[in-house]
Structure 1
Amino acid sequence: MDQPFRTVLAAFACLAFFAWGGTARAQSPDFDFYVLSLSWSPTYCATQQGGRSSQQCDGGERYGFIVHGLWPQYEAGYPEFCRNREPQRVPNALGETLFDIMPSMGLIGHQWRKHGSCTGLSQKEYLAETRKAYDRVRIPDTLAEGEKQLTLSTAQIESAFVAANPGMTTRGIAASCEGRQLEEVRICLTKDLQFRDCAEVDRRGCQRSQIDVPPAE
């Protein structure tokens, strides 16, 4: 191979490295707002996937709402799996700080790779922001207890959150369902964690007139 051709190949390889990978360049956090997704653990643990999550579902703890994730969003759609300078894997010592509200290293790692990587934050900053977002929301007493089976409309669930959280409106929250059971409550927050409306998220809430809220066991 002659020298000029080698030079061209080297230059091309250099450009490809910076364009596609290596230690990937950080992606600008150009999203519009966050969604804090709170999963109703009893519904998840009754699924086949939940049955494989021993840390969350068979660890002896009685969970109601846990954090599914803190998701950066556009007004329509959302970014995911963004390139950044942080490692893919979340160290156990860092993830364990969230176990009281997010009791699974698998869940924490996946949420970092899919969503946290698009925030422009470091792993430590993203998990700290997740904690702050969770602390920002007060779980209504009727749902926080989880002592007995409830059957409620999505409007009742959303209204209970609105009543417990000044500044939240029913246009900024959506309850989702898994079949006939409560799956998640998704709450929209500004980048500085203030409640805000979010039309697309609100539209995608559960359409059933009533859903069951299984007890936390």
Structure 2
Amino acid sequence: MRQLAAVWVAYAALNLAWCDVAYGANPQTPARPGDFDYYVLSLSWSPEFCYSHPSRAECAQHVGFIVHGLWPQFRDRRGPEYCSHAPGPASVRLPRAVMPDPALVRHEWEAHGTCSGLSPEAYFELVSRAFASIRIPRPLMMPEHAIQTGISQIVHAFESSNPGLPGSAIALTCRGVYLESVNICLTKELRPTACSLPHGCREGVVRITPVR
């Protein structure tokens, strides 16, 4: 099945680069802590990441969705990054299902937490609350077998599991035809909010790697 991914190598490269523009920093945007419109809670599908990074810390723990990040964003989709040199927390204890890799914790504070206007402790407490506010659809919690579905079906599953979460607050990204992340727009108070983030998955079949 993985041979299918090779067909989309060029597409995937363009897709990931485009998502960096859509979700990432704009060099023309002043990077002032706390100056942004809403957050993007990026839920990474760990089995897909671990397929190509099996030696990473999170991959020994056999988890499903984890938090990739909680990213400040502007309504025009530009996101500030690296807003200050404020040191990160001396120690952060996040549940393994939230953000299991210490290297990721450090990176997310430096790149995105510094733009939140919060202390490191308050920012990561917000990360945990944001993750807890989203209910993962039961079929996507810990699937033992590969799933073949589509963008609209995944979005609908999250809508159905989370009353008040509109489909317009959800955007998916894929690596080729394989689901990579589900991104959810939240207000600063962690309420779902409609946004204009684009889907980074090709229309048609989306494949979900099983938890191993």
Q: Taking structure 2 as the reference length, what is the TM-score of the superposition?
A: 0.81
- What corresponds to 1:209 in structure 2? 204
- What corresponds to 2:65 in structure 1? 65
- What corresponds to 1:18 in structure 2? none
- What corresponds to 2:36 in structure 1? 31
Give the drift of 1:136: 0.4
* Structure 1 gap segments, 5+ residues each: 1-25
Give the drift of 1:28: 3.8
- Do the aligned residues in 2 keep the contact of 1:63 with 1:216 (CA within 8 Å)? yes
Give the drift of 1:33: 0.3
- Do the aligned residues in 2 keep the contact of 1:39 with 1:66 (CA within 8 Å)? yes
- What corresponds to 2:84 in structure 1? 83
- Do the aligned residues in 1 keep the contact of 2:176 with 2:201 (CA within 8 Å)? no
For residues 97 and 64 of structure 2, the distance between their equivalents in structure 1, rounded to whole angstroms, comes to 11
Say which of 133, 136, 151 aligns to 1:136.
Answer: 133
May I ask how many residue pairs the two structures share in their alignment?
A: 181
* Dislocated runs of 4+, deviation >2 Å: 96-100
For residues 215 and 149 of structure 1, the distance between their equivalents in structure 2, rounded to whole angstroms, comes to 5
Give the drift of 1:211: 1.1
Structure having the higher helix fraction is 1
For residues 208 and 106 of structure 1, the distance between their equivalents in structure 2, rounded to whole angstroms, comes to 33
Q: Taking structure 1 as the reference length, what is the TM-score of the superposition?
A: 0.79
- What corresponds to 1:101 in structure 2? 98
For residues 28 and 51 of structure 1, the distance between their equivalents in structure 2, rounded to whole angstroms, comes to 35
Amino acid aligned to 1:152: T
For residues 129 and 186 of structure 2, the distance between their equivalents in structure 1, rounded to whole angstroms, comes to 11
- What corresponds to 2:116 in structure 1? 119
- What corresponds to 1:161 in structure 2? 158
Q: Percent identity?
A: 39
* Structure 2 gap segments, 5+ residues each: 1-30
